[in-house]
A and B are shown apart, each in its own frame.
Chain A
């Protein structure tokens, strides 16, 4: 008797309920609800409806990932609602067949238009929004005038200049002159809020984004407002430093130049910065970032929004961990037995010497800081010589927001390529024992300082072949028979796979120092030389061929990764 076959029919997802509204006379159909800052469906707001119509509503305090405050009043928009006949409860129809609309007016002054804050006002069927009306324009103009009367107007020396919403909206919606003739309010300047943040209270427009982020996202009640009215001032709680691991997000959130990063302020005009999409290599979260660089120097990292990974945020640790890229202790030349050499010589010699290695006598120790493509190439080498492989474990504290306990970006890639096993580092004791016993005579180490993993200088000196690639000098690099200078993530392209299986690509922002080359480039040459297999000279081709070979990546192509990556099943 066969078991009854049950066909599971999934109920179709409920249709998204839509509402028709008009934006400046154009009818648009928008979803009745839209996710709020927590992702919970809430009635769609006027601001979101305008966005559906392709109309930007200017705003300062509103941020899609923060609770709505409604205080800046910049998003005031004139609107109208259908007139309802009290008797029939149905909309009144004009002679021309259109619905009669009552434009919003002040209840106590029916001749004066009234705006609603688009950020918090839900739309209703038949509503008409007038973001382009003269009344809306006047409201914006008035808010901007108010915001600027006590503002120091010190744009020439302000770090925010060039990416300042006061500047942008003044150009788009403001006036060339103010009627203000009084003395300005003066407030604290250069306030040392915490170890990474300086506040200029005179530039502040009191939108409270920083307070809401700190309280509702970073879970820290450090910031608040003191004083009253026009004298309102953002401040850290008495006796407290503004010092959590997310403080620098407030600099991004600040629409004006009030909150500045101690690291970045006065270093560079923002319009000179080249922006490169990248991934933070600090931990296995893989926050999406933008590298701001100019003339081969990195000036700042900023988060790049990706709801599948980091939202619009990143931690301060990750943000400030870029200085080593341009540091003076970077490896810049190929060395053979400590003497400067060339890539051609070194790679030729290495391939010859590897050719003499007995199967099972080679260990390859990689790093989860390497790209997936590089780990894949290392594993190919390992397979050829039946090498024992592993990557080094780096672990630390995690937090509830973004920081992951695995302190390198690509452990998933290391496991997926087979360079590491379920837990990174479990083969290291075996490798050590092999060197001690003399069974392992050759070691290839990429991106890790073997000495700090517990392989002593004495032990490493027993090896007949030690090939090391790294980006900076370590205790291991002087011991290398062959030293190959590699690249920082910002100097090459590639992919990292984060702890949740997000395959994310990153782009090159700056040139590597000296003769340093991306590891995948010279690894690919080496693999080609020792295995004879045909390789790819581009990162695209390399990724695509790797994806064909590794089942979890099957179907993926470099071009399909987009800017925010693709999640795979690990």
Chain B
């Protein structure tokens, strides 16, 4: 029976569980840190030696932990890219700029269990020789910022932060920085620019890979809140045990944010891949289905940037049989295991782990118009295709959803979106283009059905009737 597996959120919602350090310590808090600091170095079979920090880094790599921010990149691999010979300080930044529409998982941790994050950060910092770390909290989380600052103060007072942590000789300071309310600050190089006090224009890569030229042009690790919490559990459990959670290549647990047209929206921590999309939406342990009489029209599976999935879609997934042979199987939308690889195979992504369910009362045109307004507002405006294209799509969709659509608008939208994806500095280009590309391709008839307006009103020279500006 599919059910929650609460590892990171084990305590957060327990009655009487509070965000203060005493409560955290009563629940075994900072034991993982002690364990990490006491980790002995080890000899490898090939005769090489690993320091205790290398052991932790190795454990994280072996745990199979994939980033929980959106890209799903191996955390251990990311750490391995860090330039450790530059002679420059290494920084670690916790990305707490949770702003992907539909996503509300990190805020649970920030609000309810801040010390878990701090412990995860201290371990990660120590493992990577980081002496100074930052938590970048989105501007719209004022309460989280207060709670984290209080927690940092407590951690300092209890000797977990500052000079000579727990008598280990290790120094670490963590500062909290609040954003000013921009989605683009969640992009790691945009975040770094913002942290440096600049406009959050994402950096070009090459040459500015954070692992080499990050914050203040020093090697920098940027990890999501949930990822850093997972590190704490990998240390407690050991990589092998942690990797048993979830499914191969999709290990551990992740917190799914379920919203939209379900009876019981909310956040659910599950073993990655152990529940299907259908189970997350319908099962009594999770979404408990749609409202009576409604049916699913579409699912946005990984935050608003992910490509929409249409009800009734079938996908071909590669599965390893009992004999070890790979076979291709047909899988219905609702039978898609909710993990990184299956959603990628389905042409979309599990992104930030946010599932938005759209029932049959929702118009794909109006939904996309709403989403596109978000991207038009949040494009930083650095790269031409995204700066101009995001608002262009939004204007066209506004027109379309307000009775001024043209038959040609479906292809018009595809033309705009196609010219954004893959042509920008950061992945925001994809984030802005993918909803349009997927919605229009999969629901083309709905878009064309809105194309009733007088074509002559839009002569193609930019002098058309004015849609309302936002």
A interface residues (Cβ-Cβ under 8 A, vs B): 68-74, 76, 106, 108-109, 112, 114-115, 117, 120-122, 139, 142-143, 145-147, 149-150, 177-185, 205-206, 224-225, 227-232
Contacts and interface: CB of A to CB of B under 8 A. Distances in A.
B390 A230 contact: yes
Nearest to B391: A230
Nearest to A177: B460
Interface string B380-408: 11111101111110011001000000100
Contact of A229 (B390, B399, B459): B390
A421 B425 CA distance: 58
Given A146-B384, A182-B392, A182-B395, A228 B422 contact: no
Contact of B199 (A146, A225, A229): A225
Contact of A205 (B206, B379, B384, B390): B384
Contact of B423 (A73, A184, A230): A73
Interface stretch (B92-100, B222-230, B462-470): B462-470
B45 interface: no
Interface in B264-308: none
Contacts of A178: 460-462
Given A71-B384, A228-B378, A181 B460 contact: yes
B222 to A, nearest CB: 20
Contacts of B422: 106, 109, 112, 114-115
25 contacts: A70-B204, A71-B383, A71-B384, A72-B383, A72-B384, A112-B422, A120-B206, A120-B207, A139-B419, A143-B384, A145-B419, A146-B387, A146-B419, A147-B388, A149-B462, A178-B462, A179-B415, A179-B460, A180-B460, A180-B462, A182-B395, A183-B462, A206-B382, A231-B381, A232-B381
Nearest to A138: B419
Given A70-B425, A73-B423, A76-B423, A185 B385 contact: no
Contacts of A145: 419
A461 to B, nearest CB: 66
B385 A106 contact: no
A139 B430 CA distance: 16
Contacts of B391: 185, 229-231
A147 B396 CA distance: 17
A70 to B, nearest CB: 4
Contacts of B466: 183
B421 interface: yes
A71 B422 CA distance: 13
A228 B384 contact: no
B207 A228 contact: no
B381 A121 contact: no
B453 to A, nearest CB: 11
Given A139-B423, A179-B412, A225-B199, A146 B378 contact: no
B385 A146 contact: yes
Contacts of A115: 422-423
Nearest to B399: A182
Contacts of A120: 204, 206-207
A146 B385 CA distance: 6
Given A70-B204, A177-B460, A224-B199, A230 B376 contact: yes
Nearest to B409: A181
Contacts of B388: 146-147, 149-150, 230
Interface string B327-349: 00000000000000000000000
A76 B419 CA distance: 12
B424 A182 contact: no
A62 to B, nearest CB: 11
Given A72-B383, A120-B206, 4 more contacts: A73-B423, A139-B419, A180-B462, A181-B460
A229 B423 contact: no
Contacts of B423: 73, 76, 115, 139, 142-143
A149 B384 CA distance: 11
B377 interface: yes
Interface residues of B, number: 44
Interface in B412-470: 412, 415, 419, 421-425, 430, 458-462, 464, 466-467, 469
Given A182-B399, A185-B391, A74 B384 contact: yes
B212 interface: no
Contacts of A180: 392, 460, 462
B410 interface: no
Nearest to B408: A179
B379 A183 contact: no
B56 interface: no
Nearest to B464: A181
Given A180-B460, A183-B464, A149 B377 contact: no
A106 to B, nearest CB: 5
A471 B462 CA distance: 55
B215 interface: no
B191 interface: no
B424 A73 contact: yes
A230 B206 contact: no
A228 B381 contact: yes
Interface in B161-204: 182, 199, 201, 204
Nearest to B459: A181
A109 to B, nearest CB: 8
A228 B377 contact: yes
A117 B381 CA distance: 17
Tell which of A68, A143, A181 has the most Cβ of chain B within 10 Å.
A181
A231 B399 CA distance: 19
A206 B381 contact: yes
A295 B379 CA distance: 49
Nearest to A112: B422
Tell which of A72, A74, A149, A180 has the most Cβ of chain B within 10 Å.
A180
Nearest to B432: A229
B387 A230 contact: yes
Contact of A147 (B204, B384, B395): B384
A424 B382 CA distance: 52
Nearest to A184: B462
Given A120-B206, A121-B206, A180-B392, A73 B460 contact: no
Nearest to A61: B384
A229 B385 contact: no
A73 B385 contact: yes
Contacts of B462: 149, 178, 180-184
Nearest to B307: A108
A146 B388 CA distance: 6
Contacts of B201: 71
Contacts of B378: 228-229
Contacts of A225: 199, 381
B201 to A, nearest CB: 8
Contacts of A68: 204
Contacts of A228: 182, 377-381
Contacts of A139: 419, 423
B409 to A, nearest CB: 9
Given A106-B422, A149-B388, A178-B460, A183 B395 contact: yes
Nearest to B462: A180
A237 B423 CA distance: 30
A115 B204 CA distance: 14
A229 B379 contact: yes
B469 to A, nearest CB: 7
Contacts of B459: 181
A115 B384 CA distance: 14
Contacts of A177: 460
A182 B463 CA distance: 7
Tell which of B378, B390, B462, B467 has the most Cβ of chain A within 10 Å.
B462
Given A76-B423, A183-B464, A230 B379 contact: yes
A73 B388 CA distance: 12
Contacts of A206: 381-382, 384, 387
Contacts of B385: 73, 142-143, 146
B200 to A, nearest CB: 10
Contact of A106 (B389, B406, B421): B421
A229 B206 contact: no
Nearest to B434: A108
